[in-house]
Amino acid sequence: MRASIERVKAALLHPELDVRNSALEYCANHWSHDESIMPIVISAYEQYGPKAFVVTHEWAKLPQNTETMNWLLQNVDKYASQLSDEVYFGRFELAAVKAVVRTIAPGMEANFAVADELPVTLRADVQRILELRSSYSQQTTAELLATTVNLCKLAATGDFSQEQWQQIECLVHEQARRPAEFAPRALAILAGQPAEGLEVSPAEDSEFDHNIVLQTMMAELAGELRLEETVPYLVEMLDSFDDGLVEAALAALKKIGTDDVARRVTAKYRESSSSRLLVIGVLESSPSELAPAALLELYSTEKDLDMRCFLLSGALQQFASEAMEPARQLLLAAQRTPETLEVHEALVVASIVLEQPFPELAEWQADMANHREYRKQYYREQPQFGSSIPGLLLDSPQSAEFGEADWHFNRSDLDVLVQPERVTAGTIHRGERVGRNDPCHCGSGKKYKKCCLRADQDVAFQM
C-alpha cells in the first residue's frame, strides 16, 4: 500500500533533506492538481532556507495560485543570488521561470511579456517565452502548421540554436491549446501516418531526420494532452535510436500515467532489454495504482542484481510498503555497490514516510552519512568514469571532504552545464554525452538518472 498523500505532504517539512526531496519528487511525478502542495514547499523554504530541496525543478510542475506566485516573484532574486555558485541547488531561477510561464493564464502572455515588475532574475527568459507564446496564439491553425513545418525543416539541417528549441516548446504549448486541430495530427504522426498540413519534405543535404523532429514534437504534445490513444506508439519509441525522441516519449508516458501505460511498459520490460531502465523510469513515476505492484512483479523474476536494485528503488520511491521487506532482505544479502546504496537510501526514506520502522533502521540511517565517501572512493577506483564524465570532481580540491564544498562551481562552469550539448533537445546532440547510469556531472557521486537528468532536460525549456 502506498503512503497517504497526507503523509507525503508532512514529509515535505521533514528535517532530513533526503526525505523532503523524495516527497517532492513523488508529488511532482504524480502531476498532482492539489494546490495545497506548493504552499507547503514554500513553508519548507522558509524553515530550512534556500537549500530546502535539491530537486528544485520538481516544484515547478506543481499547480500555483496567486499567493505562491507572489512568493516566487518576491523571493526569486534573493534565492537565486544566494545560490548563484551552486550547481546542485542553483536551478531555483530556472524552476521559477518554468512555474511562472506554466501558470500565466492563456491570453495574458502579452501583458506579462512587457511587465517591468518581473524580477530581474526572471525577466529576460520569461519575456522571451511569453512573447513567443503571444505571437503563436495569434496565428491561425494554417499558420501554426506552416511554422511547425518550417522549424522541423530547419532542425533537420543541423543548423539549430537553443532559442529555436525554445520556439518548438512554445509551439507545442500553443498546439496543446487547440486539441481539436492537433490531437488527431499527433496521433497520426506517432502512428507513422500522414497528417494534413504537417508534410515535411527532406531538406537538401540534411544531416538529421526531419521526421524524428516532428515525432519528437508530437510526442511532447501527446504528453501535454494526455492522449491515451498514443500510448502504444510512445512505448515503441522507447527503443528509438534518437535520444531526444526517447526522452519525449518517456516524459509523455509519465504524464499520461494511466493503468494502460503501466501494463504496456511492464510488457515492454519483458520484451526489450534495451529499454528496461526507461520502463522503470515510467513505473517509478506513475500515479497508476498498478505501478508499484508491476515493479515488484518484475523484481520477482529479474536475475541481474543491478536491475533488481533499480526495480526495488522504484517501488520504494512510490512509498509502497510491500517493497520494504524485499529491499531489506536484498540489503542483508548483497554486497555494497552504488546500486545497493540507492535501495538503502530509498528504504530508509520510505520507512520514515510510511512510519514503518524495521530492525536496522537506526543503524542504516546513520550509515547514510558514509555513502558519499563510499561513492567517491568507488568511482575513483573506476577510472573509466572519472576520465569520461565532465564536471566529476572526485579528485579535485573542492571534493577533499566531499561535503558542501562539492556543490560550489564558478558561474562559467554552470554556463557549460546548461549549454545545448549538455542537455537533451530533439535530435541534435553535440559534445560528450552523460549516460543514465554514469556518475552525475555535478560531482554528487550519484547516478545521472537519479540526480541532474531531469533538471538538465528542464534547462532545455521543456515547459
pTM higher than 0.75, yes or no? yes
- Flag whether pLDDT at 122 surpasses 90: no
Helices (H), 114-140: 120-137
State the DSSP code for 53: -
Residues pairing with 439 in the sheet: 447
CA pair distance 18, 89, nearest whole angstrom: 14
Model confidence pLDDT, tens digit, residues 209-257 = 678 889 999 999 999 999 999 999 999 999 998 888 999 999 999 999 9
pLDDT band at 461 (very low <50, low <70, confident <90, very high): very low
Distance of CA 241 to the CA centre of its chain: 20
Q: Decide: 85 and 408 in contact? Cβ < 8 Å.
A: yes
C-alpha grid cell for residue 204? 537538401
Q: Decide: 163 and 132 in contact? Cβ < 8 Å.
A: no
Nearest to 111 by CA among 90, 99, 126: 126
Please report, as a single letter, which amino acid is at residue 27.
Answer: C
Three-state DSSP state, 19? helix
C-alpha grid cell for residue 432? 560528450
Average pLDDT over residues 64-79: 86
CA pair distance 408, 459, nearest whole angstrom: 19
**Lowest pLDDT segment from 161-165, 188-192, 290-294, 360-364:** 161-165
pLDDT band at 449 (very low <50, low <70, confident <90, very high): low
| C-alpha torsion angle, residues 204, 208, 211, 213 (rounded to 10) | -120
Average pLDDT over residues 287-313: 96
Three-state DSSP state, 32? coil
C-alpha grid cell for residue 57? 525543478
Q: Decide: 216 and 229 in contact? Cβ < 8 Å.
A: no
- Flag whether pLDDT at 88 surpasses 70: no
- Flag whether pLDDT at 428 surpasses 70: no
C-alpha grid cell for residue 69? 506566485
Residues pairing with 158 in the sheet: none
C-alpha grid cell for residue 396? 579535485
- The more confident residue out of 57 and 118 is 57
pLDDT band at 381 (very low <50, low <70, confident <90, very high): confident
| Average pLDDT of the residues of the chain | 80
Q: Decide: 444 and 451 in contact? Cβ < 8 Å.
A: yes
